[in-house]
Amino acid sequence: MSGLKRRSFIQSAGAAGAAAALYGPQVASAKSRHAAANDEIGFGLIGAGGRGNQVIGGFHKLDGVNVVAVADPDIRRAKKTAESVDAENVYTDLRKLLEDPAVDAVVIATCNHWHCLAAVWAMQAGKDVYVEKPLSHSQWEGRQVVKAARKYDRVCQLGTQQRSDPMQAQIKDYLHNEKALGEIEYVQANRFGRRAEIGKRDTPLEIDKEVDYDLWLGPAQEEPIYRNSLHYDWHWDWNTGSGEMGNWGVHVLDDVRNVVFQDSVTLPTRVLATGGRVWWDDAGDTPNVHYTYFDTGKIPTIIALSNLPASPDSGKGQWASKAGRIVGGPSTGYAVKCEGGVYLGGRGFGQAYDSDGKKLRSFKGGDMTKLHFQNFLDAVRSRKNETLNAEIEVGHHSTGWCNLANVGYRVGREMSSQAGAASDVGFDTWPLVLDEMKTQLARFGVAPSDAVIASSPMLAHDPETEQFTGQHADVANRFLKREYRKGYVVPEIG
């Protein structure tokens, strides 16, 4: 769109932009007509951190994208990002960006605790939404985003870009149609990626005056911060983040839902979790070792997660796992154990082995990130949500597995229990995985029975209601919805 056409559109759309929050469906129709009738789509970025820059930079390279606005509570970051993508409008408050009539679609790359409220507000304002993973900070608020997408007729995609890799269709055909490795027996997802401590201050962190801290907190509670950095390390604080399970865990478990279950399983029916924050003496409270068993009613599934090195004195290297298999799994990825062999999958690659460990076939991925961005852009133009590779309800379910794994750990911590993880789950590989965890912990002077390790009892969960049921449900359900600060409450969408 030429500058003249853009200015004409802004003038004609001003009234609609001002009424967006009150007249979501009507504004949505106007925006849909604009997106369909013009090649150029105006993008706004909410959250100008490292990931935000990567995503908006990718969209900026696509034909027909005009990045017009950037918002971040840290105005310096907003200005720097805006300059890199030639955006004219810079805001501290995302609500000002959502009032901008030049913005047709937004990228949300904030801290986790902001994802859902920002997405709901954006869709109420008539914007389409590309939101980074994890979708939600708690399960209830993720469901409100799905409801908002339906109510306001918005295009909404989660940033699980591996969904757009053409390799995934080849793998599904290999495992399910050809049944090249026979019936699937179980799945183990892995995230063994080393991270560092985040520090532990004696006095609360002083917030930079250039940061609007009230906006940065948004829905989160105002609590003193004792880590060294405000940005990024919010991942390891339950108030604002979801730990490694909500960071890399979403990607890996989304792969499992897509490739193994072909999305036939929305959420697990039982969850059991164990782990702790060990070795580090820092201000984080999310686990750096976190193992979870999921009962899907079909194929038993495990995720094994560790942010520790192989041993305290190893400068590099990751832990490894091959419980119940001849072939070990990838450090970040998943292993599908079948009656005739094993498939190992990860970002951009896949390998199939027979029962003797002989490689049968390799798979290679494509440019998944560019394809995922283009997939969203195409859906914005066509208004066909069914063409999205990671439509928001799919993203809600994949995020949900991680939310439930986190609930399991937090229930175990609250109940001060170490006994649950050793219980018989009716799946003989789970004890082998626990033995591997025990071996790794021993190298750091920790035993599964130590107080630093928490284990939940087996928690029953109803995928239809997205609520825990039965024994201990009262404890577990408290973690499905958080308390919000006044002025930043995620609304219940009717």
Residues 446, 277: Cα–Cα separation, whole Å: 11
Q: Are residues 349 and 261 in the same domain?
A: yes
Domain that holds residue 327: 165-195+244-366+392-477
**pLDDT confidence of residue 320:** 81
Number of H helices, E strands in the chain: 14, 17
Segment among 5-14, 59-68, 376-385 with least mean pLDDT: 5-14
**pLDDT confidence of residue 1:** 36
Q: Are residues 445 and 351 in the same domain?
A: yes
Q: What is the mean pLDDT of residues 84-101?
A: 98
Backbone angles phi, psi at 51, to 5 degrees: -70, -40
CATH number of domain containing 304 = 3.30.360.10
Residue 12: pLDDT band (50, 70, 90) is very low
- CA 139 vs. chain centroid, Å, equals 12
Structure tokens, 224: 């003193």
**pLDDT confidence of residue 19:** 34
Is residue 92 scored above 60 in pLDDT?
yes
**pLDDT confidence of residue 316:** 65
Residues 31, 414: Cα–Cα separation, whole Å: 47
**pLDDT confidence of residue 420:** 59
Is residue 75 scored above 90 in pLDDT?
yes
Strand partners, 192: 306
Q: Is 367 helix (H, G, I), strand (E, B) or coil?
A: coil
99 within domain boundaries: yes
Q: Are residues 58 and 124 in the same domain?
A: yes
Sort strands 105-108 and 459-462 into parallel, antiparallel or unpaired: unpaired
293 within domain boundaries: yes
Q: Are residues 135 and 256 in the same domain?
A: no
- Which of 37, 36, 7, 231 shows the shortest CA–CA distance to 101? 7
**pLDDT confidence of residue 218:** 98
CATH number of domain containing 32 = 3.40.50.720
Segment among 67-76, 104-113, 321-330 with least mean pLDDT: 321-330
Q: Are residues 146 and 174 in the same domain?
A: no
Is residue 43 scored above 50 in pLDDT?
yes
Residue 177 is given by DSSP the state I
Q: Are residues 254 and 119 in the same domain?
A: no
**pLDDT confidence of residue 24:** 38
311 within domain boundaries: yes
- Which of 329, 361, 359, 358 shows the shortest CA–CA distance to 345? 329
Domain count, the chain: 2
379 within domain boundaries: no
Which of 103, 126, 154 lies at the terminal end of a domain, its last residue? 154
**pLDDT confidence of residue 330:** 94
Q: Are residues 471 and 452 in the same domain?
A: yes
More confident residue, 329 or 32: 329
Percent of the residues in the chain that have a pLDDT greater than 70, as a whole number = 90
Sort strands 289-295 and 270-276 into parallel, antiparallel or unpaired: antiparallel
Q: DSSP states of 77-118 as a string?
A: HHHHHHHHTT--EEESSHHHHHH-TT--EEEE-S-GGGHHHH
- CA 489 vs. chain centroid, Å, equals 21
Provide the mean pLDDT of the chain.
Answer: 91
Q: Are residues 45 and 177 in the same domain?
A: no
208 within domain boundaries: no
Compute the radius of gyration of the chain from its Cα atoms: 23
Per-residue model confidence as pLDDT tens digits over 115-136? 999 999 999 999 999 999 999 9
More confident residue, 463 or 425: 463
Q: Are residues 127 and 264 in the same domain?
A: no
Segment among 199-203, 286-290, 424-428 with least mean pLDDT: 424-428
Please state whether 359 falls in left (phi above 0), alpha (psi between -120 and 50) or beta: beta
Q: What is the mean pLDDT of residues 418-434?
A: 81
Is residue 53 scored above 90 in pLDDT?
yes
What is the C-alpha end-to-end distance of the chain, expressed in Å? 37
Contact 69, 79 (CB under 8 A): no
**pLDDT confidence of residue 416:** 73
pTM: 0.92
263 within domain boundaries: yes
Q: Are residues 177 and 127 in the same domain?
A: no
224 within domain boundaries: no
Q: What is the mean pLDDT of residues 181-194?
A: 97
Residues 395, 156: Cα–Cα separation, whole Å: 10
Is residue 3 scored above 90 in pLDDT?
no
Q: What is the mean pLDDT of residues 206-210?
A: 96
**pLDDT confidence of residue 405:** 98
Sort strands 349-354 and 359-364 into parallel, antiparallel or unpaired: antiparallel
The residues near 211 (Cβ < 8 Å, ≥ 6 apart) are 73, 74, 75, 230
Which of 103, 121, 154 lies at the terminal end of a domain, its last residue? 154
**pLDDT confidence of residue 308:** 95
Q: Are residues 305 and 400 in the same domain?
A: yes
Which of 154, 186, 212 lies at the terminal end of a domain, its last residue? 154
Q: Are residues 173 and 105 in the same domain?
A: no
464 within domain boundaries: yes
Residue 417: pLDDT band (50, 70, 90) is low
